[in-house]
Each structure stands twice: as C-alpha cells, then as structure tokens.
Structure 1
Amino acid sequence: MAVVWDMSQWTQAWRIDSLQPTVRSSGTRTTTSGTIMYGRTAGGANQSVTNGNSNSGANSGGGASGGAQGHDKLKIGFCTDLDKSVLVNNFEKRGWHQVNGDDDWHFYWAGVQTCRNIFSVDSGYRMHDNQMINHFPNHYELSRKDLLVKNIKRYRKDLERDGNPLAEKTESNNSSGTRYLYLDFVPTTFVLPADYNMFVEEYRKFPLSTWIMKPCGKSQGAGIFLINKLSKLKKWSREAKGPFHPQIAKESYVISRYIDNPLLIGGKKFDLRLYVLVASFRPLKAYLFKQGFCRFCTVKYDTSVTELDNMYVHLTNVSVQKHGGEYNTLHGGKWSVQNLALYLEGTRGKEVTDRLFGAISWLIVHSLRAVAPVMASDRHCFECYGYDIIIDNALKPWLVEVNASPSLTSTTVNDRILKYKLIDNILSVVLPPDGVPDVRWNKVPSADALGNFELLIDEELAAQDEQHQNSSSNTHSKTSKMGSRWK
C-alpha cells in the first residue's frame, strides 16, 4: 500500500503540546507542557563547536557534510565488528578509512562484548578526546529485561517517596490494588526465580490470566513461551533443573502479564520498533527517529488454548516470523509508523492518535530517566536503542523491551533504505559540525543535522530555558514550580 504522508503533520503528532497527561497538584488541575524539551529545534547560540582543534569557519552543517576542514591533518579511522554495508558505506562516504581495533581509531561501531572489553578495568585502555564508541559501558541497565524492570520500579518509588505528582496512583482494573496513573507503561512483571512467590500470589488473584516468559539476556524471540496455568510453569522449572538443560537453570527469566487485548489490524497482532538515540544520559539528551515501523505476525490473532504455543500468532519478531509459511518477502510483514498514524487517524480520529503517540514519547523519556542515575554516561559514548512497544485495543502503549543492538540486517529494499538513513542521521547528530569526533563538543546538533531525528529531551537546554524564564520574571515563581512534565 503506497501512502504519501505529510511529514509536517507527523511531526506535530509527536510534539509535547499534544501529549497527555496533565498533572494534578494541590487540588487544582494544571497542564504541564511548559518548557520546550520535546520538538525543539536545537541550535542557535548553543550551536557553535567547542572543539579546540577546529577552525571557526568549519561549522557548515551536520557530520556528513562538514568533512574535516578544521582537522586537515587528521585522517579519521573507523572500526566495526559488524560486516554491514549500511555501516561501512556511511563511514566511507565521509572519507573515513577502515582500521583494526588495535590501530589508532576515531570511531568504533562495536558489538556489546567489544565495548565491555574496552571499558574493562583490566584492559587499561583510555580513549582520547577524538574517539567515539556506539555503546555506553553498562547499557544493560536498560536493555536487560530484568534490570529495566528493576530500574523503572525504583524510579517510580523514588518519585513516590519525594511526593512527586508523577507518582500519583489510581485504582487498577486488571491487577490487585492500585496502579501508577502516569507511569503505568510496563506490564506487571516478576523476575524468576527470585520473585517466584510474589508471582504465584499475583497469579492466584487472577487465575485466568496469561503470562509470557522471557530469558533476561536473550533477544530475537529466543526462549520465549506463554503460560496460562501454574502447573506449566512448575513443569518447566522441573525440566530446567534436569541434566539436559544445565544452561537454563543458571538463567534468570522475567514473567510478565501478557497483553492479551492487542490492537489488531487485519486481524493480526503487531508491535512497533522505534529507534531512540541517546547522546548523553547526564544531562539526558535523547532523539526519536521518525521512520520506525510496525512488525506484524503472519497468522491471525487467536487467544484459544490450542494456539498458546503458536509463536506465529503471538511473537512479532522478524527472526521468528520469517520462518512461517505466510511470511511475505516483499514487504517483510512491516508497515511504516506513518502508515499506522494515517490508519489510526482514519479509524479512531486525529485527537486520539496524537494522544497515543504522545504517550509513546512519554514512555520513552521516562524509561530513559529511570536508568539515567545508574548509567555510566561517558562522553565518548552514544547509543541507538531499539524500542519494542505493543499497543492495546484501548490505544494504550506498553513497553515490551529495549534492544542495545537493534538489527541492521535488511529484509526488504525499504528496510535497507531506512537503516542506511538511520546510520547516516545518527552520525550527523552525534558528531560535531566539522564531522570529526570530539568529546569536548557540547552535543547540540543543528536543526539540519537532525535529519529524521526529532529531539525528545535535552535536560541541558531545558535547564537553560528554565533559568532564562526565572531570571526574566519572578512574578510567576509559585506557578512555575511544576515546570516541565519531563521533570
């Protein structure tokens, strides 16, 4: 289905002024879309490069076009563990040359294990100011399923302890007790075997519920299965302790309440894969790639017990679906997010659609805020995360998981174009305007350098805005305490 989409409309769908919710404070209802941390065109006075080696005339745009005018003697060497043309072609387009990891490199697109080795205390490796790498040292705080849940739970508890209105609770419809009114974006989840007794207690309150089991350290649908009876979990536990599965016994699993009322299109379940670029965790600087996509199951959704083990019904991972008999190699079972927005506007209305995408942005920002305090925010690092999100039939988004190494394999022509553009735009955002890696740069890309990325949050710019607002007027000091919704 070929659809022409007006990207200006798409941008508006993701702006902060369309987001929910409003936060209640002191008995009044106050909208909190005040500061411009989302959808802001970065640049202006903060746009100049702080690179001590660069010429003042070298600030001509994003990383792709700036070249190395301010570093005439610096020939940029790149290194990568992945033999992917979308990477190498983008690097070579910039005039970079490939080197080995043992050589003097400036830009390393590494696998997670290589990154851990580089940052290991035992390695003794120290990066210089003109080196960048594509992972944060402890990215697993966000990408491991058990740690993500732990960090989000801690984040909510900290806000609750501080009396922050974001931690307000309300009565829950489908689980015991209460739920968070504004931060309820992950399904009820327990870590096994540690939380087994708590899980059993929750399960017995809702014995007809379905749960999904996932190994904490795996991806691409490996090791996932659904259960709707406690006996099935006990059977799995017994088998896991047997001599044929010694590796399973050592693994931690998360077990989450299954979203059994997903939004269906054409009768099929789908999820969203969105790309989120983090340039810094402290201060938090994050960007959303507007060209995400939906991944569809190849078999129509069916909640019957007979289909509980049919992963072609329940798992949207391309690595799973491509082995199904109904898999379409032409479109790869994918649909652009722009097409999804257009479909929802036509079937549910624009206001509801805008609110959904606003809630997705809200979800992403607060998941990043949850891990920011424990993340090692090294200035040499940036990271592109693959966010997997399920939308239920009430148009509520749920965070399923976050991938630190989203696949760069292309399954279709459109997929290849998208991922080539993704890498190109990442480089333009994280590199200074002259295109030379430099950790002394203030990491504020120009509007042109953003490409298809849009600013989700920049705490540094927001703090400057707030400081400016406070200095320009003291008469509104009481009403401005709520500040931005992202706080």
Structure 2
Amino acid sequence: MIPNCTFSCVVFPRYLTVAMPKKVRFAVDAERCVVMQNFAERGWIQVSPQEDWNIYWARTQGCRDVFRVDNRFRLRDDQMVNHFPNSGEISRKDRLVRNWNIYCRSWKKNKGSLQDMDFLPTTYILPGDYSMLVEAVKRETGAMWIVKPASSSQGAGIFLINKLGMLRRLSWESKPSSHSSILSGSYVVSKYIDNPLLIGGKKFDLRMYVLVTSFRPLKAYLHRQGFCRFCTAKYTTSVHELDNNYIHLTNVSIQSQGGEYNCMHGGKLSVENLRLFLESTRGKEVTEKLFASISWLIMHSLKAVVPVMANDRHCFECYGYDIIIDNRLKPWLVEVNSSPSLFFTTQKDYFLKLKIVDDVLSIVLPPDGFPSAKWDKTPSRRAMGDFDLLLDEELAAS
C-alpha cells in the first residue's frame, strides 16, 4: 500500500549558523513523498528551510537562491544541496544545444570526425537561428519538426510543424501581441525523429536517471532502473495527426489525460523488460550495443557542460535523461531534466523512485551517514546500490 504523503510547502530561508547538530537535519521546499520517506527511515529531523539544516532538498530555484551573489550566506562543510547552482546549462534546451555545439566543434578539431557524436537531432534556437531554420525547412520539404519552449517541462507548449507557415500561425494565435517577432521567448526547433522504435504500434521514450556528484573532476553514475513512457495512441506520421499529443508526446502529464491511459501500469515498461524484449526480437549483441551507445551519449552530454558548470563540493544532482530510440536502434537525446518528477502513478513507480532516492543518498553521504562537503564522494560498490559508475575522472587519472 502506498503511504499517505501530504506535507506542507515551505519558503526559502534566512539561514542561521549554529553548532553542528547530533542528527542530520533536513529541509524541503515542496511535497516529495519518496524523499520524505527516505529521510524518515534514516531517523533524520525535519526543519524549516528558515532553520539550520544539513541537507536541503530544493527546487532548482531554491538552490539558485542559496548561491545568489547578494546572499551573504555561505554553506558549511556539513551542508549539502541537491542541485548545482547553474544546472540550467544542461537542463534548458537552448543552453544544452549551444554547449553541445561548442563541444562538437572542439571534438572535430581534436578528433577529426563527428560520427560518434551524432545523437542530438538537428536543432535551431529561435529567434536567433530563424533564417537557418527557414533554409532547412525549404531544403527538406515535408519533414516534421518539433517546437519546444526552451525552459518548459511536462510537455507544455510543444507542437509539431511540417511547414514554416504553421510556426507563424500558431505563435501569433497564442501570442496575439507578438506580431513583431516569430516567437515570444526562446524556443528550440528540432528535426522530429519520425521513425521511432515502436512496441505494440506505439511510440515511447526512455527515462534514465543519472547522478552527478562532481563536474570537476567529473563523477557520474547511471541507474539501472529506468523506464519507458508510452503514448496511448498508435503512432502515425499523418499530417492530419500533427496536433495529436497522444500520438507524439510521451509525457505522463499529457498521456494520463487521455481516455486510453491505463492506471494499472501507468503506461510504463521497465528498462529490464525493454532489454528482454529487444534481446528476443533483435538479438543480444545489438541490444548491448544500444545500451553502450546510451551510456556514451550521457557521458559526452555531461562533458559538454563541464566548462560552464559551476562546480561546488556542497552539491549533487540527479538528472532525468529522456532518450528516443529509432527503429534502427539508434538513441537520440531529447532533453535532460534537472528535477525529474518524483511523483508516482503506481505502486511499482513508487518503489522505483523510493529506491532511486535511497541510492542517491547512499552515494553522496560518507559512510557514517552525516553530510560532509570534504568527503571525496567515492562510495563502496555496496553503497552504490543500483547505480553503476559511468565515469570518474579522478579514478581514471590515478
């Protein structure tokens, strides 16, 4: 039975500096059942963010407030937060694209080929890249493009186009006062992956969880228990269905509103079952190659933001990677979420996310379980739980 989890919201604090408490004191700024459950099982003491805490599990904005230039508070060695100060460098779609393009230029200069780096769909950032987008749409007549607000989440504001006129019409209808510009705010327009791998005739994407404990040196872990998120309607590329989100967008927040949504399994399939399906239909060798490519994709997307990421020894972050697999078993990076949803739709979903948070805490905390920014965050194999080491530049250099 899923426990009843109702917690009051709190606001950002004026921090206090007091003697280190005997027990871990934690604060949260939103209702997160699986986080609270993990803290309770460890016997930790909840405090308001206005009080003295050792771990602050915050929204990204809450973390940015901690590190504001005009905030004179400085974190002690026994305090940790669950985001890096500028995590938007990888989680904002426009910044991810910019950082990735810079990384690829450097890779090409040093390696000479981008063949191994082809896992981000052709993408343009509006309004700056509008002229290049126009040329691309003209050049690839009839191709489908997906338009996304740069900083949105849960599928908000996303739509598909196959003609440039659709971009103008949709933006002007939704923003009647913005005729002077193509779109209000920053958008990304990506070549739509129109040949996705289908299971049961339906499109899905893959949600993978990646923990980063340091960007310099880069230390990252990949969790084994990701899952697939399925659309509720069968896939088609018909131009008459471009605006049917139940066909094209896998976000649970969208699919759960449809009449075909199954509350029993939540429209999800575990990574373990996906592996078994692919091994039985495509073979073990190609399946292993696919998951090796996914690890490669994640590792280099993290390396791409290392030069711009504000690394801080008090920080850790668990990212939610969204990946599309095409019918040739090639993975494509869709986006990276700095606050992947910890809301659960089924009991299985609840235990999965409870386990992920437990494993995160076991890795980022020293063996004695008390937060310490001085600790080198090098856990034992047992402490890693279902996380596997993706990359540790410190170990690789030793």
Distance 1:246 1:287, change over 3 A: farther
- Aligned equivalents of 2:182 and 2:393: distance in 1? 41
- Aligned equivalents of 1:119 and 1:443: distance in 2? 21
**Partner residue in 2 for 1:77:** 25
Please tell me whether residue 112 in structure 1 is matched to residue 46 in structure 2.
no
Map 1:288-299 → 2, pairs under 5 A? 288-299=222-233
Map 1:476-487 → 2, pairs under 5 A? none
Please tell me whether residue 95 in structure 1 is matched to residue 43 in structure 2.
yes
The one-letter code sitting in structure 2 at the alignment partner of 1:114 is: G
Deviations 1:457-481 (A, max 9, x none): 00000001xxxxxxxxxxxxxxxxx
**Partner residue in 2 for 1:10:** none
Report if aligned partners of 2:149, 2:157 keep a CA contact under 8 Å in 1. Answer: yes
Distance 1:253 1:244, change over 3 A: closer
- Aligned equivalents of 1:196 and 1:299: distance in 2? 32
Map 1:54-65 → 2, pairs under 5 A? none
4+ aligned runs moved over 6 Å, structure 1: 244-248
- Aligned equivalents of 1:383 and 1:248: distance in 2? 35
Secondary structure in structure 2 of the residue aligned to 1:330: coil
- Aligned equivalents of 1:73 and 1:117: distance in 2? 24
Distance 1:250 1:305, change over 3 A: closer
**Partner residue in 2 for 1:285:** 219
Map 1:223-234 → 2, pairs under 5 A? 223-234=157-168
Please tell me whether residue 337 in structure 1 is matched to residue 285 in structure 2.
no
- Aligned equivalents of 1:366 and 1:233: distance in 2? 32
How much is the aligned-residue C-alpha RMSD, in angstroms? 1.7
Measured after TM superposition, the shift of residue 237 of structure 1 is: 4.0
- Aligned equivalents of 1:265 and 1:407: distance in 2? 24
Report if aligned partners of 2:23, 2:44 keep a CA contact under 8 Å in 1. Answer: yes
- Aligned equivalents of 2:256 and 2:76: distance in 1? 43
Deviations 1:391-447 (A, max 9, x none): 000000000000000001010010000000011000001101110110111110000
**Partner residue in 2 for 1:153:** 101
The one-letter code sitting in structure 1 at the alignment partner of 2:74 is: R
Distance 1:282 1:307, change over 3 A: same
**Partner residue in 2 for 1:3:** none
Q: Which stretch of structure 1 is more off in the superposition, 351-360 or 249-258?
A: 249-258
Deviations 1:122-155 (A, max 9, x none): 1111000000000000000000000001001000
Report if aligned partners of 1:141, 1:371 keep a CA contact under 8 Å in 2. Answer: yes
Report if aligned partners of 1:193, 1:252 keep a CA contact under 8 Å in 2. Answer: yes
Distance 1:379 1:247, change over 3 A: farther
Greater CA radius of gyration, 1 or 2? 1
Measured after TM superposition, the shift of residue 243 of structure 1 is: 2.8
- Aligned equivalents of 2:283 and 2:154: distance in 1? 33
**Partner residue in 2 for 1:204:** 138
- Aligned equivalents of 2:260 and 2:226: distance in 1? 23
**Higher RCO, 1 vs 2 (CA within 8 Å, ≥6 residues apart):** 1
- Aligned equivalents of 1:226 and 1:312: distance in 2? 13
- Aligned equivalents of 1:111 and 1:246: distance in 2? 34
Measured after TM superposition, the shift of residue 241 of structure 1 is: 5.0
Secondary structure in structure 2 of the residue aligned to 1:121: coil
Aligned residues: 380
Report if aligned partners of 1:391, 1:398 keep a CA contact under 8 Å in 2. Answer: yes
Report if aligned partners of 1:291, 1:337 keep a CA contact under 8 Å in 2. Answer: yes
The one-letter code sitting in structure 1 at the alignment partner of 2:303 is: R
Map 1:141-180 → 2, pairs under 5 A? 141-161=89-109, 163-164=110-111, 167-168=112-113, 180=114
Please tell me whether residue 276 in structure 1 is matched to residue 215 in structure 2.
no
* Match of residue 302, structure 2, among 362, 368, 393: 368
Measured after TM superposition, the shift of residue 247 of structure 1 is: 12
- Aligned equivalents of 1:212 and 1:84: distance in 2? 31
TM-score, scaled relative to structure 2 = 0.93
